[in-house]
Structures are given as C-alpha cells and as structure tokens.
Structure 1
Amino acid sequence: MPDSLPPLEPNGTQRVLIVSPDTFGRKMGGPAIRAWEMAKRLADVAQVRLASVKDSSLTNEAFDVLTVGDDELRQQVDWADVVIAQGEVFTLHPWLVESEVVIVADVYDPLHLEVLESAKDEGPEGRSFLVKYCVDMLTTQLRRADFMICASEKQRDFWLGHLGSLGRISPETYDADRSLRNLIDVVPFGVSSEVPEQTRHAIRGVVEGIGPDDKVILWGGGVYNWFDPLTLIRAVHALSERRPEVKLYFLGMTYPNPAVHESRMAAEALRLADELGLSGTQVFFNMGWTDYDDRINYLLDADLGVSTHFPHVETAFSFRTRILDYLWAGLPIVATDGDGFAPLIQDHRLGAVVPAEDVDALVDALEQTLFADDAEELRENVRTFGRSLAWDRALAPLIEFCLEPRHSADYPTSRIESLDAHRARHIEVLEAKILQLSDQVGVTRDKLVVARDELDRVHASASWRLSAPLRLAGRLARRIRRS
C-alpha cells in the first residue's frame, strides 16, 4: 500500500462508474457499504457515479446514485473511463466482458468458499449448483478485469493462484510489473475516519432487560452459516451464572437485501437462546437490520465486540468487516482464531483470541476482557490501531489506478479469452437444457443432433454476441415443445 495518498483534485476528469449487486439505502450490507465508501473517496479525485442493479434510495452531493436496468447500465458504461464492479454484476450483465472499457473487479469476498457453508440448506443439487455458479462468476471477472482488488495479502495469494490457472500470469503481465501489483493489489475494508460520536443510547436503558450499568457484548453484524453464535451463547450462559450483568446483543438478524434469506445458523441461535432460558434476559436479538448511519450508537453502547466462527476454509480467507467497526468505536475484541484478524488482535493487544468451539476458553476471554483493570488502555490500543486502517489509506491503490486507468498488459488477449470462455459456458448450459427438455418431452436423438448442429453453427459464427444464447434457447425450446 502506498505510504502517501494521491493529491485531491476536485472535479477530476476521469469518469468512474461503481456498480454493485447490493442495495443502497439506510440499511446496507457489506458490498453496498464498500461501494458507498469507495464512491465517497473517489469523488474527491474523479467524476463518480454509483449504480445498483437492484435498488437504491440514497443521495449524495458529491456523486450520483443510480438504480440501473440493463439498458441504463449500458449507457453508464459508455460514459465511464473505468468501471468498478462486484459480485454478480458480470453474471447478470454478461455483455460487460465484451465492453472495451477499463474494468476493475472487486473480489474482496471469495464467494465460492462462503457458499460452501451458506448453501448447505439448499440440498446437494442446489448446493453444487451455487458453488459452480460462484466459481463461474468469479472466473469471468478474473479473466476479463484489467485490475483486481482484494481484502488482504492472504487473499491476494489465493487469487494469484486462480489467475495463474487462467493464464493471466503471463510474460506480458509479469514484464509489466514483476510484483503483479498492477494486476491485483490489496484494498481492504476501511475504518471510518470520522470521530465516533453517540447521539443517543440504542441498547443501554433502551432494550428491555439491559440496564445502564450492564456489561454489553456486541455481535456486530448478521448471523450466517459460517459463524458460530452457538458457542458464544453457551459461553454467555456459563459466565452469567457468576456475572449476571453480562448481556449479549446481536445487532442484525435480517439482511437488508430481500434476496438474502435467513440462515440456518440464525434460526439455531434463536432456538438455543430460548432453550437455555436466555432470550430477553442475557441474550437479545435485533430481528431487523441497523441503519448504517445509526450503527455507531449501538457500538458505543457496548463494552466488547465479538466474532466467533468455525474452523473451515472460509475462515482462512475471510476479512471480517464487523471487526473494523469495533476498531472504529474503540471496542476491545474477542474472536476465534484462524482468520486474518486473529494475529492482529494478538500482536497489537486489541483483545483476546480463542480456539474454535471452546466454550471454557471463550468464557475466560470474555470475563478477563470485560472486567480488565486496564480496560481503558485496551480501548485506546484499539482506537489507535483503527486509525491506521482508515478508508482513505485503504483505498489508496484503487485511487491511484483510477487517476490513470489502463488496460492490463495482456489486453486484448484477456478480453478475447474471456469472451471465448463465456461462449463455451453458454454452450454447455444450453446443451444441458436441451437434454433436460428431451427427458421431459421425449425428443428423438435425431432432433437433438439437429439442435446440436445449430449450436455448433452459432458457436462458429463470427457474428456471435452474448445475448445470442437467450434467443437460441427460445428457438430450441419452441422446436422441442412442437415435437
């Protein structure tokens, strides 16, 4: 990460379009928060438009906030010098890989690892489909992007392996920069540079059962399948027998994007708290989601922030964004070992790290941190370290790139190969659909051969466009239905 920030140039000439598959509103999840903070900082040096392909209800004086369909997105991409996109954007709008605009892919979230846990509720076929879907989605971005950003050095090593398997670590990209930092660099989630100020109490004396002098443990985000709230609830149960003033508050149980359903782990956490008789006495759940600008009032009503998770591969490559809010608010942290933040918590004396699924160790860590004689010194350690991770500093490599956007050293090869991969994938999907339809309506093998021949002709056509599979699928479906 550069030691110095680029100079501010209000009304800069570069035009930057940031596109998110998440919703922009008073209640926002991680992808939307990240895109929003990018827009705020980039607006100091460039002309910025922030677009959601789902929904947006926010405004900002420094940049435009848009909700875009496919046609509107095409117009915005034509306007832009550089497009920064996250997640499903390329899958929902596959023509982006065909565009000649400079593209930045934000791969801070390894979704294909996350979905190994989150999709367990979907059944074997649904889970396999979602994992493959996420792999395809991420591979599309890595093939085409001119520049990629991720959340940590460990993630960067992970993505370099993926890029190497795709042939993106080539003589061209290596000779352009032997470190490959101009191909993929680290842009972590940042900490707000604003001084945290409480405007109201949100937990103490407001939530029935939590008094002004209680010790409040805050779970600062959603409850997903890769997290372990169950060990934490059991630890609070054990600790409360001798420390009844200890209370645990879950900040959000319902993700603001309606497309994200309640997780199995959230339901299990609610059930366990009820079974242990803790609901409303020691353990409390906000069944909605907290407004982004209001979250500081919850953070400053807490004494401790927690993050507990299971020991699996998602943990190893995760970047727990809720911990950054703890740093901003000066909250000491108790977290499970195994993720990227654990060594930082230990090395900078920000709290305590415990083994996964160890109730006794978690009880001791919670008690020692909550009732430490040097609690204020610990808080100051957290605040000081948090300031070193401010958004301005975190975004420096991205800002530097957007001031002088450029295609990757292997462009246009990367674009051509990403187009070829898209075509092959669409052929594969169409073939699977044809076979599925044939099982349903008994189409003869001869008719399937004719359909396959048509696929081959389309694949060989120089006039192929990524919208062609949709038109072709319609024609083939009508033909099969007639048969």
Structure 2
Amino acid sequence: MTHDRNVLVVTSDSLSEKMAGPAIRAFEIAKAVASVANVKLASTVHSTLSHDGLEIVDVSKVGLESLVEWADVLVFQGHLLSSHPWIKATDKIIVVDIYDPMHLEVLEQSRGRSFDDRVYISSATVGVLNDQILRADYMVCASEKQRDFWLGQMAGLGRINPATYDADTSLRGLIDVVPFGLPDAAPVQNKHAIKGAVAGIAATDKVILWGGGIYNWFDPITLIKAVEKLAERRPEVRLYFLGVKHPNPHVPTMQMAFDAKKLAEERGLLDRIVFFNEGWVPYDERADYLLDADVGVSTHLDHLETAFSFRTRILDYLWTSLPVVSTDGDTFAELIQKNSLGAVVPAGDVEALEAALELTLFDDEEHGRITARVAEFAELYKWDRVLQPLLDFCANGTRAADLNANVQIAAVAEIASLKARVADLETQTGGLHASASWRITAPLRAVTGAARRILK
C-alpha cells in the first residue's frame, strides 16, 4: 500500500540479527510507522537486516543524501546531526528520539579518562543534544520523568516560547512520551538456551538473568556478591549475564564488564555459579534465553543517570512474565513497587538483594502471583500502543511553530548572555596586561560575532 508521506528512520547502531536497544527501537518504530507512511530504515554503521515489507539500507553503501531527499519526515537517534550538519538546513520535518539522555551516561562512561577529557566529552555531548533540540520539529522520550527533564533543557534553550506555547499549551505537540515497547506476539521458546544447555547449569537450577550488556552505570558487583551468599544456602542458584560483547563494533567492552568477570573469577564463581555469554544473543532468539530464567534482574549505581534512565532490558522481562528484582531509583523501580512486579532494593545493599532474590526465586506461591501481575502489566507496553503519539505525528505532523515562524529566541538569548560574560570579564581583567585580557575575552567575542552573523 502506498501512502502520502515518506518517512526515513535512521539509527547509528548496527541493524543485524544481533541488535542492541537503539537498533531494536529503530526497527520497531520503522515497522509500526509503515502502517501510516512509506518507510525506509537506515543504519549509519552497518546493516545486514531484512524484513518483509520494509526497505532496510546501509548508509555507507547508498549515501544519506538521496535518502533524506526522498523523505518528508526524518526520525533519528544519536549523533546524526553532528555528523551530517547539512540536514539542519533542509526543510524536512525532523523527529528526534531522545529516549537516551546521553549527557548523563557519559559522566559515568568516561570516569577512567583524564578530567580534561571528561569535561570535553561531557560538553560535546551536551552540544550534540542541544543541536538536536534546537532543530527538532518533534521529540519523543521514554517516560514522564524524562519529559520533565527534557522540558527544562528545552526551556533553557528557548524552545518553550510564545510560538510553541500558543500552538499547544501542553507542549505535547513538541515533545511526548514514547517508551520502549513489547512485541504483540507472545514469546515462544524453540529450544532451551540456558537450562540444560550451558555447561554447569542444570535443567532444575534457578536462573537469575541479567538481560543485556554490562555498562559502567550498572552494578553487577553487588549482584555477584549477593548471589555468592545466596548460593551458600541455595546451591541450585545460577546467575547468567546475557551479553558482554556489544554488537555495534564502535561500542567497546566497558570497564564494569571486566570488573564483574574478574570478581567472579577471584571468588571461584566463574562458570560454576556465575556465567557470562561472551557474545550477543540474536534478537529473534532472545525468548529462548528469557524463558529459561526464573527472575530478571537490574542493578545499578546510585547516581544521576539512574534517575532519568529507562532500562530497556526490563521490557523483555515483562514480555516473558519474569518477576523483576531491581535497584531503587529509576523509573522502573517505581513501576515495580506500585504494581507489585517483583522486588526493589537499595543500591549497593548485598544483604537486601540476597533476601529479595531468595524470596522471589523460592517462594513458589509469591512467584506465581508476581508472574501473573507482570503478564497483565505488560499489556500496557505493547509497541502498537506506546508508539501511537509518534505514528500520529508521522502521519499528520508539521514543522514546529517556532521554526516555521523563524523564531530565534535561543540565539538572541545566547548572544545576550555572551555579551554579559564578555563585559564581566573585561571588568575583571581591566588590571591585566592587554594581551592577557585579550586571550581571555577573545573566544567569547568570536562566538558572539558568529552568533550575530547567523542571525543576519
């Protein structure tokens, strides 16, 4: 069926049989949008994926210019605008998927680098996101808490202005919530992938599943220690980490993954109680692993990234009706507690985590009750339901009111701020030698001049 609109969905993650969260999200978005528009799905990194009724392309082979020219609407995530800045000058309707607050992640991800490097990476990431927000005609994020966070950043950039406010006083027409979703089809296990299939894990063992990669903002260390203590009383307990090597070749194995494996090895748990899948599970085979588990787990550190995160691996737990044991502090912790979907424990509390795992694994009556509640709750997160705001926009959305009217409030405000900083520095450096004063104020003068030229 041919539609009136062409929509291009772009991801900077690998599209293949082995996919991480960003690629999965782009794939599911593209499939859903195909019901209201003509769709092409593209990866700027690598693509070998195919799907009936959906054209999937590798940008490195076909080029991005022709794809953007074809599109009426562009939906993307990641660094697309910073790597292809010419897109900003087009008249395309641009949808930015900011479900991942990258500028919070890099605070943890870059910890092993020098302070100067960390400051640069952090500032650069903020710049990438600000650039997207300033150009976006529509934005989607993963939760209401995230939306509040992004609204603050948008306000600081001037995107909440008389034009956008008058167009929609709720601002839902500019940014709305589109969380990660679940497949409509129920999970089917074609084979056992963990129980009785992994050496050291028997068919009768109790399996705790870590359902994704091991990143620096997670806390596998507390989990391994809790499982070690629990296994002393419950020798049939096993902990299985589903993925270590990320399918995107540009994403390195993180320090926390090395630390987790080192701890398991030092404690004599490796390949006996604690197991690591060194590769990455194909997307279409993940049910074989999930349905072999008894509990899904998500443990993280107590920091800013946690507060605004949306742990996509927990969606797979919901899909397969797994009880969830999670660290407190993120969006899903609130949902788990409110809907009795498992147990929530304080960050870094080995004893509390051990107790929660034991109760959830070995109290058969409670396990059954939780499983039933998880299955019921999961209906709220089916892809066709959560994607509805985005589908509506792809079918009917227009250029943002302020961009359409060429409102430049953010640029004007930035110039005013920079001029004030220049004046302040000139006052402070009045007693310095002229050359020293110029070295301090010249960068600000240059930026101010550039901003003025942009406005002309």
TM-score where L is the length of structure 1: 0.85
Can you list the C-alpha shifts for 1:125-177, whole angstroms capped at 9, x where unaligned?
22222111110110001001000000000000000000100111111111111
1:246 corresponds to: 237
Relative to structure 1, the CA distance from residue 363 to residue 411 in structure 2 (aligned partners, 3 Å threshold; closer, same or farther) is same
Matches within 5 A, 1:355-434: 355-374=346-365, 375-412=367-404
Q: Secondary structure at the residue paired with 1:410? A: helix
2:22 to 31, 55, 67: 31
Offset of residue 422 of structure 1: 12
Given that residues 238 and 363 in structure 1 are in contact (C-alpha distance below 8 angstroms), is that contact kept between their aligned partners in structure 2? yes
Does residue 88 in structure 1 map to residue 84 in structure 2? no
Runs of at least 4 residues of structure 1 off by over 3 A? Answer: 412-423, 452-462
Deviation at residue 456 of structure 1 after TM alignment: 10
1:186 aligned partner? 177
Instruction: Determine the C-alpha separation between the residues in 1 that align with 2:391 and 2:340.
Output: 31
Q: Equivalent residues in 2 for 1:98-247 (5 A)?
A: 98-247=89-238
The one-letter code sitting in structure 2 at the alignment partner of 1:406 is T
Distance 1:141 1:102, change over 3 A: same
CA distance in 2, matches of 1:304, 1:422: 50
Picking from 258, 283, 290, the partner of 1:267 is 258
* CA 1:420–1:53: 2 relative to 1, 3 Å: farther
Name the SS of the counterpart of 2:202 in structure 1.
coil
The aligned counterpart of 1:341 is: 332
Q: Taking structure 1 as reference, are residues 459 and 379 closer, same or farther at Cα in structure 2, changes over 3 Å only?
A: closer
Q: Judging changes above 3 Å, is the alpha-carbon distance between structure 1 residues 155 and 459 closer, same or farther for their aligned structure 2 residues?
A: closer
> How far did residue 121 of structure 1 move?
2.0
CA deviation string 1:168-226 (max 9, x = no partner): 11111111111000010000000111111000110011110000000000000000010
Do the aligned partners of residues 415 and 258 (structure 1) sit closer, same or farther apart at CA in structure 2, a change above 3 Å counting?
farther
CA distance in 1, matches of 2:277, 2:409: 47
Q: CA RMSD in A?
A: 2.8
1:19 correspondence with 2:10: yes
Query: What's the secondary structure of 2:222's corresponding residue?
Result: helix
Q: Cα distance 1:456–1:276, how it changes in 2: closer, same or farther (>3 A)? A: closer
Residues 158 and 409 in structure 2, CA contact (< 8 A), matched pair in contact too: no
8 Å Cα contact 1:20/1:86 also seen in 2? yes
Aligned twin of 2:433: none
Distance 1:110 1:350 in 2: 26
The alignment of Structure 1 onto Structure 2 pairs a total of residues equal to 433
Query: Could you say if the C-alpha distance between residues 413 and 269 of structure 1 is closer, same or farther in structure 2, counting changes exceeding 3 Å?
Result: farther
* Corresponding residue to 2:282 among 286, 291, 297: 291
Amino acid at match of 1:203: I
Q: 1:419 to 1:170 in 2, by over 3 A?
A: closer
Is residue 300 of structure 2 the alignment partner of residue 309 of structure 1?
yes
After superposition, the Cα gap between the structure-2 partners of 1:416 and 1:60, relative to the gap in structure 1 and judged at 3 Å, is farther
Say which SS state the counterpart of residue 364 (structure 2) adopts. coil
Unaligned 5+ runs, structure 1: 1-9, 424-451, 465-483
Q: Is the 1:144–1:415 Cα contact (8 Å) retained in structure 2?
A: no
Could you say if the C-alpha distance between residues 459 and 71 of structure 1 is closer, same or farther in structure 2, counting changes exceeding 3 Å?
A: farther
Structure 1 residues 167 and 418: alpha-carbon distance in aligned structure 2, compared to 1, 3 A threshold: closer
Unmatched tracts of structure 2, length 5 or more: 416-443
User: Post-superposition shift, 1:461?
Assistant: 7.2
Counterpart Cα distance in 1 of 2:16 and 2:70? 24
Cα deviation, residue 63, structure 1: 1.5
* SS of corresponding position for 2:111: helix
* Aligned CA distance change for structure 1 residues 459 and 165 (closer, same or farther; 3 Å): closer
From the superposition, tell whether residues 113 and 124 of structure 1 become closer, same or farther in structure 2 (CA, over 3 Å).
same
User: In the TM superposition, what is the alpha-carbon distance from 1:23 to its structure 2 partner?
Assistant: 1.0
SS in 2 for 1:370: helix
Whether contact under 8 Å (1:18, 1:35) holds in the other structure is yes
- Deviation, 1:122, is 2.5
- TM value normalised by structure 2: 0.90
Deviation readout 1:302-335 (Å, 9 max, x if unpaired): 0000000011100000000000000001100000
| Contact 2:46/2:60 (8 A) holds in 1 | no
| CA–CA distance in structure 2, aligned partners of residues 223 and 147 of structure 1 | 32
8 Å contact kept, 2:74–2:93: yes
More moved, 361-370 vs 120-129: 120-129
